[in-house]
Amino acid sequence: MTNGTSIGITDIEAAQKRISQTIHRTRTEDSAYLTEKFGAPVHLKLEHQQRTGSFKLRGATNAVLNLTEAQRENGVVGVSTGNHGRGLAYAARQNGVGCIICMSELVPQNKIDGIKAQGAEVRIIGRSQDDAQIEVDRLVSEEGMTLIPPFDHPDIIAGQGTLGLELAEDLPYLATALVQVSGGGLISGVAAALKARLPGIRVIGVSMERGAAMYQCQQIGKPVLVPELSTLADSLGGGIGLDNAYTFAMTRDLVDEIILVSEAEIAGAIRHAYWHESQIIEGSGAVGIAALLSGKAKPDGPTALLLSGGNIDMNLHHRIISGEDVDVTAED
């Protein structure tokens, strides 16, 4: 139930009904290698095979389908250059709703192309995210468009939570789930679903060491500004918002622990996914595997890992799986 600050199982069940027509229900697969290595069943949720390459489509679709008729007519706007932007663009087009994604001129061409390919209008404004935000605010106030944020929104959290329902349906004996954490929309929804359906389950968050905003905010006990650093887990970058309304509290209340992994561990996990699981995943999708392989997370009974996204530059991917010691942190 929505009580103003939290999203619950009934919201997530409603989202599942709403989005099931357009969302791909991704498979869970056993990892023979990890099961053998850790002596406990390890399951991979193949969400990188979701349409648009990540789970962000779930929340975005739920938000678009929840618009009023007037809101549908005026369209939606977003600021994400990454997976949320792709998901939102796709969900809007799929449902005949106009969509503008605003970004600064510093955004690389391949990201712009990725979003255009999903059918959204891309509007490039100024040299910073702040400039882009000014245009977003104008589109909302003057043109009546609806801003769909990437994580701190009830429809987004409930949509991402449908992943937790699928995990509970497919793996009712699950003891532990390792889930990525950035803004916390994903883990808030997944933890709410899993803890309602499978009492006693542990939900462990995983972030990268470099710029782990939610982790640092939880340590301090409130949302604070955390500097963003370049990382192989680029979809996990960015803050949680000083005015965070939902995901900070839900993460605090529902997540048992947050583990941080290094750049080398993330690269090793991308490599592992390719050579041992036949999966091409981006750095953010690999942090659960990194947590296990590094020994930082111990599979305590049947364990599920979420492969949350697959949108990685294929040249970078090729260098990593070839064993090159790739360092994306040099610019900081």
Smallest gap, in angstroms, from Cβ of residue 185 to ligand PLP? 3
CB of 309 to ligand PLP, least distance (A): 2
When CB distances to ligand PLP are compared, the closest residue is: 309
Task: Pick the stretch among 27-35, 69-77, 184-192, 317-325 that binds ligand PLP (CB under 6 A).
Answer: 184-192
The one-character DSSP state at 213 is H
Contact 187/194 with Cβ under 8 angstroms? no
Window 2 to 41, contacts with ligand PLP (CB under 6 A): none
CB 213 within 8 A of CB 240: yes
- By beta-carbon proximity to ligand PLP, the closer residue of 41 and 150 is 150
Q: Which stretch binds ligand PLP (CB under 6 A): 10-18, 118-126, 141-149, 177-185?
A: 177-185
Q: Strand pairing partners for 189?
A: none
Evaluate whether 60 touches 87 at the Cβ level (below 8 Å): yes
**Helix, strand, or coil here: 286?**
helix
Find where tokens 């069943």 sit. 41
Q: How far apart are CA 53 and CA 115, in angstroms?
A: 12
Among 180, 216, 244, 303, binds ligand PLP (CB under 6 A): 180
Examine residue 185 and tell whether it contacts ligand PLP (CB under 6 A).
yes
Q: Say which DSSP state 235 is in.
A: G
Stretch that binds ligand PLP, among 20-28, 38-46, 111-119, 179-187 (CB under 6 A): 179-187
Q: Map the footprint of ligand PLP across residues 41-70, applying CB under 6 A.
A: 54, 56
Pairing of strands 176-180, 303-306: parallel
- Distance (Å, whole) CA 30 – CA 258: 24
Structure tokens that stand for 20 in this block:
């099931």
> Judged by CB under 6 A, does residue 223 bind ligand PLP?
no
CA-nearest of 90, 103, 99 to 53 is 90
- Cβ-based nearer residue to ligand PLP, 154 or 184: 184
- Residue 83 or residue 218: which is nearer to ligand PLP going by CB? 83
Three-state secondary-structure class, residue 258 = strand
Alpha carbon distance 208, 283 (integer Å): 9
Residue 75 lies near ligand PLP (rule: CB under 6 A): no
Q: How much is the CA Rg of the chain, to the nearest whole Å?
A: 19
Nearer to ligand PLP among residue 59 and residue 299 (C-beta):
59
Give dist(CA 303, CA 90) in Å, integer. Answer: 31
Candidate list 81, 216, 218, 308; residue touching ligand PLP; CB under 6 A:
308
Count of residues engaged in binding ligand PLP, rule: CB under 6 A: 19
CB atoms near residue 41 (< 10 Å): 18
Query: Can you tell me which of 44, 91, 177, 181 binds ligand PLP, judged by CB under 6 A?
Result: 181
Of 236 and 260, nearer to ligand PLP (C-beta) is: 236
Q: List the interface residues with ligand PLP, window 235-294 (CB under 6 A).
A: 235-236, 282, 284-285
Minimum CB distance to ligand PLP, residue 232 (Å): 12
Residues found near ligand PLP in the complex (CB under 6 A):
54, 56, 83, 151, 180-187, 235-236, 282, 284-285, 308-309
